[in-house]
Amino acid sequence: MTWKMFRKNDNYLERDKRNHTMKKYTWLLWILLLAGMTLPHPAAAAQRKEQATVIEGHGDLYVLHNPDKSVRIIAAKADGKLLDTTFLRLPENLKLRYFAADESTDLHFEFSLHGRIKHNWRQEPAEKTVVVSDLHGRLDAFVALLQGNGVVDKELNWSYGKNRLIFLGDMLDRGRDDNGIAWLVYKLEKEAEQAGGGVDFLPGNHEDMVLKDDIRYVNEAHLAFAAKAGIPYAGLYGPDTELGRWIRDSYLILVVGDNLFVHAGLSPELIRRGYKIGEINELAWRFTGYPNRQRNELHPRNEFLFGSGGPLWYRGMVSDLQDNSPILPEELEQVLRYYNVKRVVAGHTEVDETGRRYNDRVVTVNVRHYDNYPKDRTAGLLIEAHRFYAVTYSGAKELLPE
Alpha-carbon distances, residue 55 vs 74, 86, 137 (angstroms): 9, 12, 21
> Distance between CA atoms of 389 and 376, rounded to whole angstroms?
15
> Distance between CA atoms of 358 and 366, rounded to whole angstroms?
17
Alpha-carbon distances, residue 322 vs 36, 325, 357, 361, 384 (angstroms): 83, 5, 17, 20, 34
Residue 32 pLDDT? 42
Residue 102 pLDDT? 79
> What fold does the segment set 116-399 form as a domain?
Purple Acid Phosphatase; chain A, domain 2 (3.60.21)
Span 157-162, average pLDDT? 98
Q: What is the pLDDT of residues 231-277, one digit of tens each?
A: 999 999 999 999 999 999 999 999 999 999 999 999 999 999 999 99
12 — pLDDT class (breaks 50, 70, 90): very low
Q: Where are the domains of the chain?
A: 3-39, 116-399
In sequence order, which ranges of 288-377 are alpha helices (DSSP H)? Answer: 292-298, 302-305, 329-339, 369-375
Given a contact cutoff of 8 angstroms between Cβ atoms, the answer to whether 177 and 143 are in contact is no
Given a contact cutoff of 8 angstroms between Cβ atoms, the answer to whether 379 and 132 are in contact is yes
> Distance between CA atoms of 12 and 20, rounded to whole angstroms?
12
Given a contact cutoff of 8 angstroms between Cβ atoms, the answer to whether 177 and 137 are in contact is yes
Residue 361 pLDDT? 98
10 — pLDDT class (breaks 50, 70, 90): very low
Q: Is the pLDDT of residue 103 over 60?
A: yes
Q: List, edge to edge, every strand of the sheet that includes 82-87.
A: 61-65, 71-76, 82-87
How many Cα atoms within 13 Å fall on the side-chain side of residue 130?
29
52 — pLDDT class (breaks 50, 70, 90): confident
Residue 295 pLDDT? 97
> Distance between CA atoms of 274 and 107, rounded to whole angstroms?
46
18 — pLDDT class (breaks 50, 70, 90): low
Q: How many CB atoms lie within 10 A of CB 354?
A: 28
Q: With residue 71 as reference, give the H or E element that holds it.
A: strand 71-76
Given a contact cutoff of 8 angstroms between Cβ atoms, the answer to whether 210 and 234 are in contact is yes
3-class DSSP assignment, residue 204 = coil
Phi, psi of 326 (to 5 degrees): -55, 140
The percentage of the chain sitting over the pLDDT mark of 70, rounded to a whole number, equals 88
* DSSP class of 234: G
**Maximum C-alpha span of the chain:** 131
Q: Is the pLDDT of residue 310 over 90?
A: yes
3-class DSSP assignment, residue 154 = coil
pTM of the model: 0.87
Q: What is the pLDDT of residues 327-351, one digit of tens each?
A: 999 999 999 999 999 999 999 999 9
* DSSP bridge partners of 383: 129, 388
Smallest CA-to-CA distance from 253 within 140, 151, 339 is with 339
How many Cα atoms within 13 Å fall on the side-chain side of residue 17?
6
Q: Which amino acid is at 275?
A: Y
Q: How many CB atoms lie within 10 A of CB 168?
A: 27
> Distance between CA atoms of 301 and 298, rounded to whole angstroms?
9
CA 229 to chain centre: 22
Q: Is the pLDDT of residue 315 over 50?
A: yes
59 — pLDDT class (breaks 50, 70, 90): very high
82-87 and 378-384 as β-strands: parallel, antiparallel, unpaired?
Answer: unpaired
* DSSP class of 77: -
Q: How many CB atoms lie within 10 A of CB 41?
A: 9
Q: List, edge to edge, every strand of the sheet that includes 94-99.
A: 53-58, 94-99, 108-111
